[in-house]
Amino acid sequence: MALKNSKKVSTNTYEVEIVLGKEAFDAEVNKVYRKNVAKMNVPGFRRGKAPKSVIEKMYGSAVFYEEAIDNLLPEAYSAAIAEAKLDVVSRPDIELVSTGDEGVVLKATVIVKPTVKVSEYKGLTAERPEVTVSEEEITREIDSVRNRNARVLNVEDRAAELGDEATIDFEGFLDGVAFEGGKGEKHPLKLGSGNFIPGFEEQIVGHNVGESFDITVTFPEDYGEASLAGKETIFKIVLHELKRTELPELDDEFVKDVSEFDTVEEYKASISSKIEERKNNSADAEVEKQLVDKLIANMTGEIPECMIDSEIDRYVNDYDYRLRSQGASLDLYYQYTGSTEEKLRESFKEEAERQVKSRLALERVAKTEKIKAGKKEMEEEYKKIASGYNVDMEYVKKNIPEEGISEDIVLRKAIQVIKDNAVVTTKATEENA
């Protein structure tokens, strides 16, 4: 088995001729014959006893060829592609060319990774959002923690107020007739949330638990149900229950309960530091996105559609995996959203194309800069993956090829070269302008 010939037939497309040597092919045909002879009925012979020559005369000389080729082709194809030094990005289109004294000749038409050019990758410009942390942001973060540690208390000694959680029965009437969809029982409603039509929640304020009362509201002119749009209606209300949320005081004792700190000042400083770190990471990501977008704009080359399709496949598979981890599936997603596989794939296309282009451009930068992945870097990467998944490093090495790890390291180093040579200015955000 050997590479017979390789030639470029069009942009990014090659034809590779593969020879399955006669001796190896004949041996494989004999194996296929022995495997299948017991399944074949040949007049004059007991099942499994018909000679190969008789079966070939009866069914045709190529009766066992297809399976023999299928068995030999994967290894032969891989060897031929390696010998031809082609970086294939598509599935091969296989064609039988001939069978004869030299064996079987096959032609594989493949698409290879394109050769791209990047006109400029140093001196690219980007604007980094200014990073500041306001007191309001710190307060919001702390209030979120206070809310998670809040107590919910029954209200029995006063009337309803905005912010209370009310439990109500309600039924709506238009011109004295109850309308469809306007009724609910023991319905929880936070007063002031704006979940009901304007004026509804506010009219519950001032009433006490156990009261039954009417409120009058007018549906918005643009309300989705035309029969109610702009109409004045009456709702009969029964107020069953009121609850209020009591937030813990922000003091040193609270801080000791929810953190490793002892004082409010230390806690606030820690929260500020975390917000700043989060914003810095976001700003760094924004700078990298701008630089990669400009890198892509400076790249030229014809990108095979199959590369984008393969990237979309990966996105769809990842999405399917996430759905399944939540007890759902793509079929259920299509059913409940009214979407289709085509629409889902289309939604991923723009990002998939950007991903393919950015990788090709970064690979070109890495090649230009002669960037390599060192053994120490490889070991550190394997160790990081093993630690992240809490598995043995040897298991990671066995299941993740060195080539994949090396490529990731090289691409990260390439983007770092671009960052190190970029001109980055600071841009005030709207909140800080």
Closest among 199, 267, 294, 271 to 237, alpha carbons compared: 199
pTM for the full predicted model = 0.76
* Within this chain, domains 151-246 and 257-427 share the same CATH topology: no
- Write down the architecture of domain 151-246 according to CATH: Roll (3.10)
Q: What is the pLDDT of residues 24-45, one digit of tens each?
A: 999 999 999 999 988 888 888 8
Residue 1 scores a pLDDT above 60: no
Which two tokens mark 183? 């009724």
Q: What is the pLDDT of residues 101-111, one digit of tens each?
A: 889 999 999 99
Q: What are the DSSP calls for 378-393, one per residue?
A: HHHHHHHHHHHHT--H
Q: What number is the average pLDDT over the span 302-331?
A: 95
Q: What number is the average pLDDT over the span 173-188?
A: 93
Return the domain boundaries, the chain: 2-112, 151-246, 257-427
- Write down the architecture of domain 257-427 according to CATH: Orthogonal Bundle (1.10)
Residue 257 scores a pLDDT above 70: yes
Q: What is the pLDDT of residues 59-88, one digit of tens each?
A: 888 899 999 999 999 999 999 999 999 999
Query: Is 55 in contact with 40 (CB distance < 8 Å)?
Result: yes
Please tell me the class of the 2-112 domain: alpha beta
Q: Report in angstroms the alpha-carbon separations of 208 from 158, 163, 203, 237, 400.
A: 7, 15, 12, 12, 65
CB proximity list for 3: less than 8 A, separation 6 or greater: 16, 17, 18, 19, 79, 80, 83, 84
Kindly state the DSSP code that residue 228 receives in the 8-state scheme: T
CB proximity list for 362: less than 8 A, separation 6 or greater: 292, 295, 411, 414, 415
Quote the pLDDT of residue 311.
97
* Backbone phi and psi for residue 97, each to the nearest 5 degrees, phi listed first: -90, -50
Q: What is the pLDDT of residues 396-408, one digit of tens each?
A: 888 888 998 999 9
Residue 23 scores a pLDDT above 60: yes
- Of 3-12, 339-348, 402-411, 421-430, minimum mean pLDDT range: 421-430
